[in-house]
C-alpha cells in the first residue's frame, strides 16, 4: 500500500493570533514496502508530518492518500479505524501503557481496531522480538530496550500497510539501537509494509537506501 | 481485551486512590444499608407483634408505655391493677381471652424479664396462625418456667435448669428465695417472646413480697366493690357484673402429683385475691366490634385503660421511627453524594496524568467514544464495586450489632433480612457514577492527541 501526499499544508495559530506555517508539501510519495529515513532539524515539522499522515491531525489543505483512501475525506471515527487497521506507530518514548503487561500492550492494538484479540499472534510477535519470557511483565519492570521491542511488536500486530516510526532509537543505548532498527526493518520487510522512520542520527539514516530531508520537500508558507 | 477489562486495569494501576475512593462509597452504602435493615427489622417486629391481641389493659397512664412494657418488654414497668379486675374482665361475655401479665422481676443471668402468666398465654396465637411451639411442655405446676429461645441460648439454660428471680427490672440486688424450674423452651418466634421467661402466675403470687399489704388490699377491695356496684347500676362500663364464677383450680394443678419432685425452698401460701395484682391483661375480644365497645367502656372506668397495640405502634412508627429513618436516609444519601464527588475528584485529577495514555490509545486507533467509555466505566466500576462492598459491610455491621441490639432492646434481629429499598441502591449508584463520570469522560473525549503525545 503506497502513500502519497499532494499539496499538503498545515499551520498552527499561536496565542497572539499569528499563523505559524509548519507544512507545505507539494508532493511526497512512498511505495508499497519501501523504507525511507526522514531527517530534519528539530521543530522542522517532522512530527506534524507523521500526525498528518496517520490522520491524528488533519491538514489545512491537500490530500493524504494511503492506498486508495484519501484520509482527508474521512470522518474522524473512520480515520481512527483506518489508523488502527492500516498504520503502525512507534514512538520515541515507546508509550507503553503502564497498567498493562507486555502481552496486553500488544493486544491493545487489536482491541482498538475492533478485531478479535489474537493472543497467539501477539505472543509470536513478542517471541520474534525476543520477549517470550517477558510476556506478563509490566513496562516498569522491563528495560528500555525491552520496552521498545514491545512497542515494535505492538505496531505490527494488525499487519499494517504503513509503519510510522518517530525517532524509535533515540532513547536507547548504542548497543540496542542497531538491534531495534534491524528488527523494525526486518519486520517491515517480512510484512511488505512501507516504513517512514524519522531520525536525527546520520548513522541510522545511513542504513537506508532512501533518505529524505524534510526541508527539501517541505516549503511552508 | 474488552473495555471493562481495560477500565479495571486502569483502576488497578491507581490501586490506593481507587481503593480509597471505592471505600468512601462503600462506607456511605454501609450506613444506608444499616439504617434500612435495622429500620426494616424494627418495623416488622413491631407490626407483627402489634397484631397479636386486640387490647392491652393496664393501669391508667400512658397507653404507649403500657404496650411497650407488656408486649415488647421495653420501657419501665407500669402500675399494677387489682387481680379482681382481671377476674371480672375474664368473665365479661365480650371477652374471648383475658391473659394476666405480672411483671417486676428479672433473671440474674442476662437480665431477662420474668413474666408471670397463666397457661392460656401459650394457647393463643402469638401472631395470626402462628402458635407457640415448645420443647418440653408448657406451664403446669406453680414453679414451672418456660423460657424463650434467646434466653436459652444466652444463659445456656435447658429443661431442668433452675433459677431464682431477682426483684426489679435492672441491676437488682434482691434475689427471691423461690426457685423455678425450666420445663419448656420455646421455639424461636422472631418476637420479644424469645427474650421472655414465663412462670406460672400462681407461682408468681407465691413469691414473697409479691402480695399487696393486707390493709392496703382491704381498702382497695372495698373501693373495687363500690365500683362493681356502680357498674352494675349504670350498665355502661367495662366490667359488667356477672355471677361470681365457682373457684376452679388450674387444670394442671388438679392433676399435679407432688410426690415426684422437690419444690426447692417454696413457701406455699395461698394469697387472697384481694392481695393479688397484675401488671396488665392481654385481651382478645370475641369480635372486633366487641373490642371497640370493650375499649370504650374500660377507658371510661376509673381503674384501667385499654390500649390498642396496633395504634400505639403505628404512632411510634409514623412519628418517631419513620422520621428518624427519613432523616438517616437523607443523611446517608448526602454521604453518597459526597462519595460521588470523591470519585469525580479522584478520576478528574488522574486525567492530567493520564492524558498521554489516552493519547496513545487514540494513536493506536481508539475512537473518542472508546476512551470516553473507558473513563466512564472506571467511574461505574468504582461506584458499583464500592456499593456492593458497602451492602455486604452494612449487613456485616448488623451481624455484629445484632446481639447488642437484642440485649438492649429485646428485639430479635435477623441481620440478613433484605430490604426492598436496598434494590434501589444499585440503580442510584449507577446514576451517580454516570453523573460523576461524564466530566472526566468528556476530558478524555476532547484530548488533543497530537499535543498530548508530545507534551
The per-residue pLDDT for range B150-179, each reduced to its tens digit, is: 899 889 999 999 999 998 755 556 888 889
Using CB atoms and an 8 Å cut-off, which of residues 160-219 of chain A contact chain B?
none
Give yes or no for A43 touching B (CB within 8 A): no
Locate all alpha helices (DSSP H) within B256-321, ordered by sequence: 288-300, 309-316
pLDDT value of position B455: 66
Select from A51, A76, A117 the Cβ nearest to the Cβ of B450.
Answer: A51
Query: What is the Cα–Cα distance from B83 to B88, expressed in whole angstroms?
Result: 9
HSE-CB at B46 with a 13 A cutoff on CA atoms is 26
CA dihedral B232, B235, B238, B240 (to 10 degrees): 50
B201 contacts B102 by C-beta, under 8 angstroms: yes
Query: What is the Cα–Cα distance from A206 to A1, expressed in whole angstroms?
Result: 25
pLDDT value of position B412: 63
Q: What is the pTM of this model?
A: 0.65
Cβ–Cβ gap B361/A108 under 8 Å: yes
Cβ–Cβ gap B450/A56 under 8 Å: yes
Q: Chain A contacts of B449, Cβ < 8 Å?
A: 51, 56-57
Distance from the Cα of A113 to chain B's closest Cα (Å) equals: 6
Cβ–Cβ gap A112/B449 under 8 Å: no
B72 contacts B408 by C-beta, under 8 angstroms: no
pLDDT value of position B327: 82
Cβ–Cβ gap B1/A83 under 8 Å: no
Nearest to A67 by CA among A33, A113, A43: A33
Q: How many helices (H) and strands (E) does chain A have?
A: 8, 9
Distance from the Cα of A38 to chain B's closest Cα (Å) equals: 18
Query: What is the Cα–Cα distance from A123 to A132, expressed in whole angstroms?
Result: 7
Q: Grid cell 533518505 — which residue?
A: A211
Given the candidates 3.30.70.20, 3.40.50.300, 3.20.20.30, 3.30.300.340, the CATH classification of the domain at A34-59+74-217 is 3.40.50.300
Residue B76 CB partners (closer than 8 Å, separation 6+): B65, B69, B169
pLDDT value of position B146: 96
B33 contacts B390 by C-beta, under 8 angstroms: yes
Q: Which residues of chain A have pLDDT under 50?
A: none
B185 contacts B195 by C-beta, under 8 angstroms: no
DSSP β-ladder status, B280-285 and B55-58: antiparallel
Distance from the Cα of B451 to chain A's closest Cα (Å) equals: 10
Select from A51, A98, A104 the Cβ nearest to the Cβ of B1.
Answer: A104
Q: Report domain extents, chain A.
A: 34-59+74-217
Using CB atoms and an 8 Å cut-off, which of residues 85-144 of chain A contact chain B?
85, 89, 91, 95, 97-100, 104, 107-113, 117
Query: What is the Cα–Cα distance from B192 to B112, expressed in whole angstroms?
Result: 11
Residue of B nearest to A109 (CA): B364
Select from B360, B367, B368 the Cβ nearest to the Cβ of A95.
Answer: B360
Distance from the Cα of B373 to chain A's closest Cα (Å) equals: 12
Q: Looking at the predicted complex, does its ipTM rise above 0.90? A: no
Helix (H) or strand (E) holding A195: strand A194-199
Cβ–Cβ gap A108/B362 under 8 Å: no
Enter the C-alpha cell of residue B6: 481495560
Distance from the Cα of B410 to chain A's closest Cα (Å) equals: 53
Give yes or no for A17 touching B (CB within 8 A): no
Give yes or no for A147 touching B (CB within 8 A): no
| Backbone angles phi and psi of B415, in degrees to 5 | -65, -20
Q: How many helices (H) and strands (E) does chain B have?
A: 14, 13
Cβ–Cβ gap B453/A98 under 8 Å: no
Q: Grid cell 419448656 — which residue?
A: B184
Please count the other Cβ atoms lying within 10 Å of the Cβ belonging to residue B282: 23
pLDDT value of position B244: 41
Query: Max Cα separation, chain B?
Result: 105
Q: Chain B contacts of A83, Cβ < 8 Å?
A: 363-365
Enter the C-alpha cell of residue B234: 349504670
Q: Chain A contacts of B354, Cβ < 8 Å?
A: none
Please count the other Cβ atoms lying within 10 Å of the Cβ belonging to residue B20: 12
Enter the C-alpha cell of residue B224: 373495687
Cβ–Cβ gap A84/B365 under 8 Å: yes
User: Would you tell me the crossing angle of helices B3-13 and B15-50 to the nearest 10 degrees?
Assistant: 110
Distance from the Cα of B338 to chain A's closest Cα (Å) equals: 28
pLDDT value of position B411: 61
pLDDT value of position B238: 46
SS3 A64: strand
HSE-CB at A79 with a 13 A cutoff on CA atoms is 20
Q: Chain A contacts of B367, Cβ < 8 Å?
A: 76-77, 80-81, 112
Q: Grid cell 478524555 — which residue?
A: B444
Sign of the CA dihedral with B77 first, then B82, B87, and B90 last: negative
Q: B191: buried, middle or exposed (CB in 10 Å: 19+, 13-18, 0-12)?
A: buried
Interface contacts (A, B; CB < 8 Å): 73
Distance from the Cα of A125 to chain B's closest Cα (Å) equals: 17
Q: Chain B contacts of A58, Cβ < 8 Å?
A: none
Q: Which residues of chain B have pLDDT under 50?
A: 234-263
A187 contacts A128 by C-beta, under 8 angstroms: yes
Cβ–Cβ gap B366/A77 under 8 Å: no
Amino acid at each position: 500500500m503506497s502513500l502519497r501526499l499532494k499539496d499538503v499544508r498545515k499551520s498552527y495559530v499561536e496565542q497572539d493570533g499569528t499563523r505559524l506555517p509548519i507544512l507545505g508539501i507539494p508532493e511526497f510519495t512512498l511505495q508499497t514496502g519501501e523504507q525511507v529515513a526522514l531527517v530534519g532539524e528539530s521543530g522542522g515539522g517532522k512530527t506534524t508530518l507523521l500526525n498528518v499522515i496517520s490522520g491524528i491531525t488533519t491538514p489545512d489543505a491537500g490530500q493524504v492518500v494511503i492506498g486508495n483512501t484519501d484520509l482527508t475525506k474521512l470522518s474522524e471515527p473512520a480515520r481512527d479505524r483506518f489508523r488502527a487497521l492500516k498504520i503502525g506507530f512507534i514512538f520515541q518514548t515507546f508509550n507503553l501503557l503502564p497498567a498493562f503487561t507486555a502481552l496486553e500492550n500488544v493486544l491493545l492494538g487489536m482491541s482498538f481496531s475492533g478485531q478479535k484479540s489474537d493472543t497467539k499472534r501477539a505472543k509470536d510477535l513478542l517471541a520474534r522480538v525476543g520477549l517470550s519470557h517477558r510476556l506478563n511483565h509490566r513496562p516498569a519492570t522491563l528495560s528500555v530496550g525491552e520496552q521498545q521491542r514491545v512497542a515494535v511488536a505492538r505496531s505490527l500486530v494488525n499487519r499494517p500497510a504503513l509503519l510510522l516510526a518517530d525517532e524509535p532509537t533515540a532513547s536507547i543505548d548504542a548497543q540496542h539501537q542497531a538491534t531495534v532498527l534491524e528488527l523494525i526493518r526486518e519486520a517491515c520487510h517480512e510484512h511488505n509494509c512501507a516504513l517512514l522512520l524519522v531520525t536525527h542520527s546520520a548513522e541510522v539514516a545511513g542504513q537506508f537506501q532512501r533518505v529524505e530531508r524534510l526541508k527539501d520537500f517541505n516549503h511552508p508558507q | 481485551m474488552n473495555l471493562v477489562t481495560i477500565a479495571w486495569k486502569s483502576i488497578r494501576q491507581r490501586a490506593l486512590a481507587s481503593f480509597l475512593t471505592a471505600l468512601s462509597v462503600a462506607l456511605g452504602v454501609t450506613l444506608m444499608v444499616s439504617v434500612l435493615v435495622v429500620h426494616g427489622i424494627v418495623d416488622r417486629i413491631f407490626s407483627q407483634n402489634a397484631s397479636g391481641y386486640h387490647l392491652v389493659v393496664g393501669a391508667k397512664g400512658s397507653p404507649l408505655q403500657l404496650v411497650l412494657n407488656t408486649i415488647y418488654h421495653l420501657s419501665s414497668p407500669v402500675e399494677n391493677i387489682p387481680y379482681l379486675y382481671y377476674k371480672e374482665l375474664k368473665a365479661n361475655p365480650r371477652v374471648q381471652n383475658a391473659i394476666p401479665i405480672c411483671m417486676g422481676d428479672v433473671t440474674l443471668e442476662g437480665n431477662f424479664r420474668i413474666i408471670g402468666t397463666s397457661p392460656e398465654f401459650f394457647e393463643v396465637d402469638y401472631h395470626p396462625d402462628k402458635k407457640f411451639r415448645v420443647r418440653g411442655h408448657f406451664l403446669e405446676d406453680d414453679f414451672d418456667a418456660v423460657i424463650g429461645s434467646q434466653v436459652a441460648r444466652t444463659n445456656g439454660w435447658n429443661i431442668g435448669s433452675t433459677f431464682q428471680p431477682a426483684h426489679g427490672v435492672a441491676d437488682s440486688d434482691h434475689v427471691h428465695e423461690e426457685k423455678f424450674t425450666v420445663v419448656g423452651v420455646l421455639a424461636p418466634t422472631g418476637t420479644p417472646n424469645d427474650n421472655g421467661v414465663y412462670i406460672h402466675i400462681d407461682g408468681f403470687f407465691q413469691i414473697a413480697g409479691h402480695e399487696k399489704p393486707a390493709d392496703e388490699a382491704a381498702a382497695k377491695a372495698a373501693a373495687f366493690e363500690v365500683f362493681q356496684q356502680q357498674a352494675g347500676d349504670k350498665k355502661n362500663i367495662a366490667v359488667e357484673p356477672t355471677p361470681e364464677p365457682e373457684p376452679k383450680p388450674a387444670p394442671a394443678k388438679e392433676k399435679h402429683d407432688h410426690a415426684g419432685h422437690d419444690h426447692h425452698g417454696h413457701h406455699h401460701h395461698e394469697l387472697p385475691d384481694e392481695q393479688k395484682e397484675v401488671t396488665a391483661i392481654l385481651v382478645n375480644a370475641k369480635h372486633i366490634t366487641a373490642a371497640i365497645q370493650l375499649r370504650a367502656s374500660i377507658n371510661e372506668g376509673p381503674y384501667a385503660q385499654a390500649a390498642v397495640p396496633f395504634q400505639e405502634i403505628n404512632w411510634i412508627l409514623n412519628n418517631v421511627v419513620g422520621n428518624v429513618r427519613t432523616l438517616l436516609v437523607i443523611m446517608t444519601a448526602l454521604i453518597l453524594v459526597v462519595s460521588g464527588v470523591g470519585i469525580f475528584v479522584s478520576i478528574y485529577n488522574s486525567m492530567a496524568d493520564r492524558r498521554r495514555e489516552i493519547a496513545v490509545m487514540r494513536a493506536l486507533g481508539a475512537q473518542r467514544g472508546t476512551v470516553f467509555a473507558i473513563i466512564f466505566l472506571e467511574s461505574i466500576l468504582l461506584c458499583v464495586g464500592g456499593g456492593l462492598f458497602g451492602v455486604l459491610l452494612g449487613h456485616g455491621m448488623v451481624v455484629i450489632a445484632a446481639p447488642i441490639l437484642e440485649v438492649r432492646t429485646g428485639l430479635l434481629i435477623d441481620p440478613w433480612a433484605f430490604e426492598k429499598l436496598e434494590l434501589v441502591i444499585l440503580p442510584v449508584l449507577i446514576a451517580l457514577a454516570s453523573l460523576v463520570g461524564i466530566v472526566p469522560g468528556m476530558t478524555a473525549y476532547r484530548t488533543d492527541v497530537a499535543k498530548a503525545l508530545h507534551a
